[in-house]
Amino acid sequence: MKFKLINTVIAVALAIALGSCTNDNDVVNATEGSGSLKIKFDHRYGDVDFIMGAPYTTSQGETIKVDNIKYIVSNIVLIKEEGGTYVYPKSKSYFIIKEQTPSLFTIELTDVPAGNYKTVKFGIGVDQEQFNLGAAGQGDFLAQAQSEGMMWSWSAGYKFLAFEGNFTSATVTDPTLFKVHTGQTGTNYNYTEVVLDMPDKALVRPTITPQIHVMADLSKILDGATKISLSPQPNIMGGVVLASITANVSTMFSVDHVHND
C-alpha cells in the first residue's frame, strides 16, 4: 500500500513536470500572433563604457571630451532564422537615440509578427525617399527632430548624427570645440545602413518581449577604417571627410546579447 502511494506521488510529480516542460516549449516554439521587441543601444568608447565628458585619446593623439551624442535610427527590418523578413512600418520607423536621455536609449517595436528573428537591419539617418515627401510627409518625427536639434533647417535637411564636444592636441593646447554632423551635403546624401547578426534568436511572442542589446562603439566615428584628425578641421559637416565619417559610423554597431523575457 505504501509503495502504491509512493508510485502514485511520483507519477503525479512527473506528469506535472512534463506538463510544465511541454507548456514552456509550446511558448518558445509557437509562432502565431504578434508581440513587441525592444532594441537597447549601449554606448562604449573602445573597450570601456562611454561616460559623457570623460577624456578619450584618439589614434591621432587628440584628447576629446564629448558633451553631445545623438543619431537617428530608421527603417528597421527583422530577418527570421529561416530567411523571412518583417519590415517595420515606415511611418513608425524613425527614432532618435540620445546618450543624455536614458528614455531614448531604447526603441520599442509593437505589433511584430511572432517569430524567431536572427538578424536586424536599420539605417542611420533619414532616407532620401522619406525626405522627398516634404515637411508635411514627415509626420510627428519632424517636430521631434527639430526639438532635439537634429535638423539644420528644412531645406538643409536632417542631421543624421551629432557628435560634439571639445578637444586638445599637441598643436591645439587650449580646449577647442568640435562638431561632427552627418547628413545631406550637396549631392552626397550620406545615409547608411547597418546589418547585424544576433548571437541568439529574438523570440517574439504574445507573451515574450525580447530585447536586443546593441553596443555602439563611439570611438569608431573618428577611428574607424579611416582615421580622422580634428586639428585641421574641428567642424566636420561636409566634404570628402564626411563620407569617411559616414562609412566609419556604419561599423560602430554590434549585438552583444539578446534577452528573451
pLDDT (tens digit, 9 = 90+) per residue, 88-132?
A: 999 999 999 999 898 889 999 999 999 999 999 999 999 999 999
Q: How confident is the model at residue 28 (pLDDT cuts 50, 70, 90)?
A: low
Average per-residue pLDDT in the chain? Answer: 90
Q: What is the pLDDT of residue 62?
A: 98
Q: How confident is the model at residue 30 (pLDDT cuts 50, 70, 90)?
A: low
**Residue ranges per structural domain of the chain:** 1-30, 32-260
Q: What is the pLDDT of residue 29?
A: 61
Q: What is the pLDDT of residue 120?
A: 98
CB 32 within 8 A of CB 114: yes
CB 56 within 8 A of CB 48: no
Q: How confident is the model at residue 186 (pLDDT cuts 50, 70, 90)?
A: confident
Q: What is the pLDDT of residue 4?
A: 47
Mean pLDDT confidence for 241-251: 96
Q: What is the DSSP string of 155-198?
A: TTEEEEEEEEEEEE-SS--S-EEEEEEEE-BTTB---EEEEEEE
Please tell me the distance from the alpha carbon of residue 126 to that of residue 104, in angstroms, as a whole number. Answer: 17
| pLDDT for 3 beyond 60 | no
- Portion of the chain with pLDDT greater than 90, in percent: 81
Q: How confident is the model at residue 26 (pLDDT cuts 50, 70, 90)?
A: very low
Please tell me the distance from the alpha carbon of residue 147 to that of residue 83, in angstroms, as a whole number. Answer: 38
Tell which wins on pLDDT, 238 or 8. Answer: 238
Burial class (CB in 10 A: 0-12, 13-18, 19+), 186: exposed
- Portion of the chain with pLDDT greater than 70, in percent: 89
| pLDDT for 232 beyond 80 | yes
Residue of 5, 120, 145 lying closest to 70 (CA atoms): 145
| pLDDT for 63 beyond 50 | yes
Q: Distance of CA 195 to CAs 108, 209, 254, 255, Å?
A: 18, 21, 9, 10
Q: What is the pLDDT of residue 12?
A: 43
CA angle, residues 93, 99, 103, in degrees to nearest 5:
60
Global pTM reads 0.88
| pLDDT for 23 beyond 90 | no
Tell which wins on pLDDT, 11 or 97. Answer: 97
| pLDDT for 6 beyond 70 | no
| pLDDT for 175 beyond 60 | yes
Backbone angles phi, psi at 99, to 5 degrees: -60, -35
Q: What is the pLDDT of residue 239?
A: 87
